[in-house]
Amino acid sequence: MSATASAPKAPKTAKTAKTAKTAKTASSAGPAGSPRPASAAIRPDRKNRSRHLYNLIGLLTFVVMIFPVYWLVISALRPNAEIRSYDQTLWPSSITFDNFSRAMDQANFGTAVKSSLIVCVTAVVGAMIMATIAAYAIGRFRFKGRRIFMIVLILVQLLPPTAMLIPIYLQLNDLGALNEYWGVIIVYLVSTLPFATWMIRGFVINIPRELEESAMVDGCSQMGAFWRVVFPLLAPGLAAASIYSLINAWNEYLLAYVVLQDNDKYTLNVWLANFTTSRGVDYGALMAASTLIAIPVVAFFMVIQKKMAAGLTSGAVKG
């Protein structure tokens, strides 16, 4: 028997077993040492299913919104007999441009285009100038009644235009503005001014005051700093407000129909009524004319879409 006997092993106690279990759990944990939840493996699948569901909802919404525009363009390219047929298809059997020819040959087409351009361009440019000055005053200066004025700007938007049609007609009649371009221009300008002012104000607030102060230190006046420094930075906000004002003025029908009484002064939306006669409706030419009317707004939007997106996001951060 050897003199040095091996020491007996210590019995495995509950404390030792707990320590081993803790070490095993820590070895299977993540990089931070925290236990990995059992549902971590299925979370990516849930996220993918949610993303696919949202994509499907967005796609269905897009189809519902784009289908009327698609049907408008397709109907403008269909033969008139096929438009009146009960058997409608998503794609015409043959494509024709006769509808566009009849639409442009309609009486007063050129004068309607001229009237719409005069009224809409003047109203939008005037609204942008006045809204920019008003938004700068509200965003930069503190004066008595400023908060009340801002609340009024919002409340005015709650009034439906049709509810004010009779008072507007009476006022224009007293001013001698019936059947005049400038009467419609004033109403369009005033109707878009509150929202344009509010939108541009949100963008003015995001421009640092230090830029104007630096320009004034270099010798510019308050107005000079505004035109040379602030106004160029307002281009995205002006783009967003101008497309809103243009859409409102370009698509308006009721007021132009009531105020403008001569056929040679009708805007394009009122001119569309010429396709409805006692003998029926020329749907092909009507669809073609509607497509032609939509082109200027779409073209203007495509030109300024980048600045418009920047203006909407930048103007919505503060204020």
The answer to whether 246 touches 298, Cβ cutoff 8 Å, is: no
- Over residues 21-35, the mean pLDDT reads 49
Count other C-beta atoms under 10 Å from residue 207's C-beta.
18
What is the pLDDT at residue 298?
87
- How far apart (Å, rounded) are the C-alpha atoms in residues 149 and 155? 10
pTM: 0.73
More confident: 38 or 139: 139
Taking the alpha carbons at both ends of the chain, their separation in whole angstroms is 94
What is the pLDDT at residue 100?
92
pLDDT tens figures, 211-229: 888 888 888 888 888 888 8
Q: Facing residues of 277 across strands?
A: 280
More confident: 301 or 98: 98
- How far apart (Å, rounded) are the C-alpha atoms in residues 317 and 298? 27
What is the pLDDT at residue 276?
77
More confident: 27 or 145: 145
